Amino acid sequence: MHNYHDQEFFEKYSVRTDLALEAHQVVTEHQGPPLPGVKVSTVEKDKAVISRVIVENEVGARMIGKAPGRYSTIESPALREHNREMHEELARYLAEELDWFIQDTQLGPEEPILVVGLGNWNATPDALGPRVVQNLMVTRHLLGMTPPELRRGLRPVAAISPGVLGLTGIETGEIIMGVTERIGAKAVICIDALASRSVERLCSTIQISDTGIHPGAGVGNRRQAINQETLGIPVIAIGVPTVVHATTIVADAMDLLAGQRPQSAVEERAPQRTTFHVDPRTLMSTPSQQGIESTPPGLPHLSGPEKHQLIREVLAPYMGTMIVTPKEIDVLIDEVTDVVAGALNIVFHEGVDYDEVFQYLT
C-alpha cells in the first residue's frame, strides 16, 4: 500500500513511519551521518524543536524511504497543554514553516488555495482535519464578487472536509480533484491525522511536507495518492500523529523490554534533545541497538525484520483494527486544532484585520 520508497526502507529497517525525521534518525543510528542526498537542520526554540529535512534526489529518497522533497517537523510537548499563549507561539512557528513551503510553490499572492480537512468527523482521533476546516477563515466567496483593485492583496481561501471512503463511497482524492478543477485552485493544503510509531509523539508533533499524502498513510485507509502528480498543482500536507497501531506498540514494547541502552550512551548520541521530554530514542530502538545491548535472560533475541514479521502474523488477527490513543484524546485534538487553524489563519491573512475584510467585502 505504501510507495516503493517506504517499502524498501521497511524491508531494510523493519520500521514504518510517516515522519521523515524519524526515518532519518533510524538510518543515521545505523550508519552515522551524513547521508548523501539528505540535508537536515534543526533549530531549538524556547518550547519547541523545529527540524527541516530536505531529500534532494533519488539517492536520498532511497536512503530514508521518503520521496524527494521538503519536510519540516515541529516537536513540542506544549502542544498538549491547554495554554493559549503557548498555542499562539506554536501557531506562529507553524505559520513560519508553512510560509517556507508556500514561498517555494511560487504562488502569486492572489491565487486561490484549497484547504482539505482529511478524516472522519465522527471518529475523534481522525477528526483533526475536519475540525481545522471548521475553525478556518475562508474568503473565496467574499473575494469572488470583488473587483481585483479592491482585493487589497487578499488570497481567496476555500476549504472542504471530503469525508472518508467508508462513508462516502468515493476516494478522497477524487473529490479533491473534482473540486480543485471546478474552482481553479492553484494549490492544496491537506490536514491529516497520522498513525505514529510512538505514544510520545501523539499530539505533540506536527509535520509539514510538499510530497503530498501517500496511499495507506494516515489514520484512514486511503488508496490513492494526493500529490502534485495526481492533482497537477502543489500539495502541502500538514500531519499530526494521533494514534499508534496496536501491533506497533507491541513491537516497541518488546524492544524496550529487550534492553535499554545505558543512559550515558544515549546522552552522547543526541545531546541536543536533553531539554525535551519527548525522547524519540526510547521509542525508536532499532535492530542495531538490540544487537549492541546485552539481552536480559529469557527475553527474545530476534532481529528486527523477523521480529516485526512475527508480531504482525501472530497479532494481526487479534489486534487488527485496534488503535492506541491517550485517554484524553478528545481534549488533545481540540488543542492541536487550535494551533493548526491559528497558523493557517496567520499565513493566509497576516496583517489583515479580519473584521475589516468583512466590512469591505460582504
307-326: which residues touch its own copies (CB under 8 A)?
310-311, 314-315, 318-319, 321-326
CA 83-87-93 angle, to 5 degrees, is 155
Tell which one of 1, 150, 257, 292 touches its own copies (CB under 8 A): 257
**Closest approach of Cβ 131 to its own copies, in Å?**
10
The HSE-up count of residue 29 (CA atoms within 13 Å, CB side) is 26
Crossing angle of helices 329-349 and 84-105, in 10° steps, is 50
**Residues 156-195 interacting with its own copies (rule: CB under 8 A):** 156-163, 165-171, 174-175, 177-183
CB atoms within 10 A of CB 92: 15
Q: Which is nearer to its own copies, 161 or 211 (CB)?
A: 161
Site string for its own copies, 78-117 (x = CB under 8 A): ---x-xx---------------------------------
**Closest approach of Cβ 11 to its own copies, in Å?**
21
N-term to C-term CA, the chain: 46
**Closest approach of Cβ 222 to its own copies, in Å?**
11
Q: Which is nearer to its own copies, 24 or 155 (CB)?
A: 155
CA 233-237-239 angle, to 5 degrees, is 170
Residue 88: C-alpha distances to residues 47, 137, 360 (Å): 12, 16, 27
**Which set of grid coordinates corresponds to residue 314?**
501472530
Q: Which is nearer to its own copies, 246 or 270 (CB)?
A: 246
**Closest approach of Cβ 117 to its own copies, in Å?**
10
Compute the distance between CA of residue 186 and CA of residue 267 in angstroms, rounded to an integer: 46
**Closest approach of Cβ 208 to its own copies, in Å?**
22
Identify which range of 8-16, 42-50, 140-148, 228-236 contacts its own copies by CB under 8 A. Answer: 140-148
Q: Which is nearer to its own copies, 67 or 143 (CB)?
A: 143
**Closest approach of Cβ 111 to its own copies, in Å?**
14
Q: Which is nearer to its own copies, 42 or 282 (CB)?
A: 282
Tell which one of 189, 219, 237, 357 touches its own copies (CB under 8 A): 219
Q: Nearest Cα to 348, choosing from 110, 181, 133, 135? A: 110
Site string for its own copies, 267-306 (x = CB under 8 A): ---------------xx--------------xxxxx----
**Residue 119 within binding range of its own copies, rule CB under 8 A:** no
Q: Nearest Cα to 343, choosing from 82, 123, 88, 148? A: 88
For residue 34, cis peptide bond before it (omega within 30 degrees of 0): yes
**Closest approach of Cβ 75 to its own copies, in Å?**
16
Element (H, E) at 175: helix 172-183
3-class SS letters over 110-155: CCCEEEEECCCCCCHHHCHHHHHHHCCCCCHHHHCCCCHHHCCCCC
Residue 209, SS3 per DSSP: strand
**Residues 198-217 interacting with its own copies (rule: CB under 8 A):** 199-200
**Residues 38-57 interacting with its own copies (rule: CB under 8 A):** none
**Closest approach of Cβ 5 to its own copies, in Å?**
26
**Residue 253 within binding range of its own copies, rule CB under 8 A:** yes
**Closest approach of Cβ 182 to its own copies, in Å?**
4
Binding residue count for its own copies, defined by CB under 8 A? 78
Tell which one of 250, 270, 352, 361 touches its own copies (CB under 8 A): 250
CB atoms within 10 A of CB 244: 22
Q: Which is nearer to its own copies, 23 or 132 (CB)?
A: 132
Q: Nearest Cα to 340, choosing from 163, 43, 127? A: 127
